[in-house]
Structure 1
Amino acid sequence: MSVPLSVLDLSPISEGSTARDALRNTLDLAQHTESWGYKRFWIAEHHFVATASSAPAVLIGLIAAATSSIRVGSAAVQVGHHTPASIVESFGTVDALYPGRIDLGLGRSGQRRAEALAAKKSAPPPETTRPTETREGVVIPPAFSPAGLLSSSRVAAAYSVLQQPGATAPDFAVVVDEIRSLLAGTYETADGVPLTAAPGTGADVDLWLFGSSGGQSAQLAGALGLPFVANYHVSPGTTIEAVESYRKAFRPSAAYPQPYLVVSADVVVADTDTEARRRASTFGQWVHSIRSGHGAVAYPNPDTATPLTAEQKHLVADRLDTQFVGAPDTVVERLSALQRLTAADELVITSVTHRHEDRLESHRLLARAWGLDGLRAD
């Protein structure tokens, strides 16, 4: 039996459209994917770029209101931009109205940037680049270092606006501990004063950690017995390392006696391989806008976009090589290989195209080919 499929959405803004269009498209996609049998609908958090997912808790509440059964959550809240109390109160508010359907995913944003800046100052020797390899049908490219991107002036400017003056992101483990304590109703301040989040304490949310390497996020998720999401769609070169680190660190918890692993993938499906490649043909331009430090641009139109140069292609080669593009059977074969290699309990797909109709069709065709309950193949 195939593992469940879930959806990760960035609420992308396409060329010629608006944030309002993107948000309406996200609600429409959530309603359709619920009817097609997808298990979860997650929202990424991004700021000051051409996506409309900058306020995940607000958007999650709107999606929960527009749907009835699909789990809705964050992928992931960037904890460097929020306090543990604000996170718990926001998600507790949504859970109070839509109990038992909310996933609270957490990512290390601010701490990762601090580490990148420290690494840049220490000027470590360049890493040896290994060649791209294929393991059991899955492409494993060289690891991409985000240090240059995270230390760019544009990212620095965004962080300066997203944090209070003089604020620094605390250690991720400390944030996760405080969030767990607030949810459990056991939180006390440093001087012993108990505080209760209302709403928030006792909220029936599932806590998830997201990671792109075998570092702190994977290890912490394992040590706490939490579910973990390995971001193949962001950092395909380090996904296997992340998976192995999580499993090695795993200690059973009351909620998860066994590891629970989700792996992400970029997907575009169409009726034919040729048409799918056309619809995905500007993915490289979009990723390049991110990797070059300019931030995600409005998603380019395949009919008018300027082709990438050889230098630009080199910067995004790992993401192009690991995007799952093709007819339904083509994509199912590759996704199945990713699931087998990682032994993932669930896959979460993200699909970005210029036209919303193409994105809907991509999810519908995949649901049918994968055999989801809502759209089983004839």
Structure 2
Amino acid sequence: MIKLSFHDLVHVTQGDTVADTLAKTADLAAHAEALGFTRYWIAEHHGLAGVASSATAVLIGHVAAATRTIRVGAGGIMLPNHAPLVVAEQFGTLDALYPGRIDLGLGRAPGGDGHVIRALRRTLQSGPNAFPSDVAELRNYFADDGKTGVVATPGAGAKPQIWILGSSLNGAKLAAALGLPYAFASHFAPDSLDQALKTYRREFRPSAQLAEPYVAAGLNVYAADSDEEAELIASSQQQFSVELLAGKPGELRPPVAGYRDRVGSQGVTTIDHVLRCSVAGGPAKIAAGFADFAERTKVDEIMVSSAIYDHRARRRSLEITAQVASQSIVESTGEADGGDRF
């Protein structure tokens, strides 16, 4: 059966402090755990107004401490921003604190603009091999194979579950070549979804970590007790996406009734393009949306994302998602629960 995970950008909602936001993040993760979600991903972004996920490893520790069994990880660590040794030490520490529960998704995007890159004291390497070489170096620290000449302490011998993240064919090819699980960011960059999944599955090479392809893909989900309420709460994410693409990101705003009718043709184009992999509605509509997405992608895991202004509504959205997703996915794929494959 397809698994469910949750991807959290850690939006600061209008009227909240960062402290409020982090408390709600921990509460939502515990709620997701109780509802049977497999993992809780936390993104990395820098210099983005209204988003509090810049210190990703710290947040992972915060969420892992607030939960007991759910896997917690980075969706993802943007490796160009970090020395691989530092990542190995951070996630080696997390793996020691929460053994068997830590995921390390790796991405090649900087997670910020040129000003952010300079502020991070990093210089982006050029060429197609920069990211793959950093991934290899990081894995060598965990393996403690002597290839780096440095022992990561903590880190050597740690076993966080490593993923490759992406929104293009590059990540799909690298994940396939290394025999690693792959997560596609279709919740905000859906253009290459089908081609990337096809490439990953076609080119996959078994590894010590993974015997066969394993893929997750993002789906924006706004579930409520009625279609009308769901369409309303989805407008907060729509506002954020329109403002982000216009270069004016900010805190997550309250929902606006009829937002699509007010935002103009360019805003509607942005919503329909960026948020194309989305479903908003009551239980029946959510079930149909999950079934359609599962049938289209044949993924092993659906990575739910939902930027919802009201925390109670967000918790309710997860409840409805968990209630309807399992049945709709099984009916669509004809699968029964055969236990964990990964």
1:236 match: secondary structure = coil
- In the aligned structure 2, how far is the partner of 1:321 from the partner of 1:259? 25
Specify the alignment match of 1:84 in structure 2: 84
The answer to whether the 8 A contact 2:290-2:325 is kept is: no
Structure 2 CA distance, aligned partners of 1:12 and 1:46? 11
User: CA-to-partner distance for each residue in 1:122-148, whole Å, 9 max, x for gaps?
Assistant: xxxxxxxxxxxxxxxxxxxxxxxxxxx
- Per the TM alignment, residue 109 of structure 1 is displaced from its structure 2 partner at its CA by 1.2
Of the three residues 158, 172, 179, the one matched with 2:116 is 158
Q: Which residue of 2 aligns with 1:20?
A: 19
DSSP 3-state at the match of 2:164 = strand
1:355 aligns with 2:310: yes
What is the deviation of 1:293? 2.7
Q: Which amino acid aligns with 1:176?
A: V
What residue is the counterpart of 1:168 in the other structure?
124
Judging changes above 3 Å, is the alpha-carbon distance between structure 1 residues 217 and 303 closer, same or farther for their aligned structure 2 residues? closer
Aligned partner of 1:204 in structure 2 is 159
What secondary structure is seen at the aligned counterpart in 2 of 1:27?
helix
SS in 1 for 2:250: coil
Unaligned runs of 5+ in 1: 114-149, 373-378
Q: What is the CA distance between 1:283 and its match in structure 2?
A: 2.2
Identity of aligned residues (%): 36
Report the CA distance between 1:43 and its aligned residue. 0.3
1:98 aligned partner, one-letter code? Y
State the 1:305 CA deviation.
9.8
Shift of 1:168: 2.4
The secondary structure found in structure 2 opposite 1:38 is coil
1:288 maps to 242
Paired position in structure 1 for 2:204: 250
**Segment drifting more, 71-80 vs 155-164:** 155-164
Per-residue deviation at 1:41?
A: 0.5
- Corresponding residue SS for 1:8: strand
- Say what the alpha-carbon RMSD is for the aligned residues: 1.8
Q: What amino acid maps onto 1:262 in structure 2?
A: A
1:312 deviates by: 2.3
CA apart distance, 1:260: 0.5
* CA distance in structure 1 between the aligned counterparts of 2:220 and 2:172, rounded to whole angstroms: 21
Please give the TM-score of this superposition, normalised by the length of structure 1: 0.81
Match of 2:100, SS state, is coil
Alpha-carbon spacing, 1:197–1:305, altered in 2? closer, same or farther (3 Å): farther
8 Å contact kept, 2:283–2:324: yes
**Structure 1 outlier segments of 4+, above 6 Å:** none
Encode CA deviations 1:10-37: one digit per residue, 9 max, x unaligned. 1111111111111111000001110110
Compute the displacement of 1:258 (Å).
Answer: 0.6
Partner Cα distance (2:231, 2:258) in 1: 14
Residue 183 of structure 2 aligns with which residue?
Answer: 229
What does 1:67-146 align with in structure 2 at a 5 Å threshold? Answer: 67-110=67-110
2:230 partner letter: A
- Cα 1:225/1:31, change in 2 over 3 Å: same
Report how far residue 213 of structure 1 moved.
1.4
- 1:301 corresponds to which residue? 254
- Quote how far apart the aligned CAs of 1:244 are: 1.1
TM, length-normalised to structure 2:
0.89
Deviation at 1:303, TM superposition (A): 4.5
The answer to whether the 8 Å contact 2:230/2:282 transfers is: yes
Query: Paired residues, what number?
Result: 321
Q: Distance in 2 between matches of 1:34 and 1:258?
A: 26
AA at the equivalent of 1:57: A
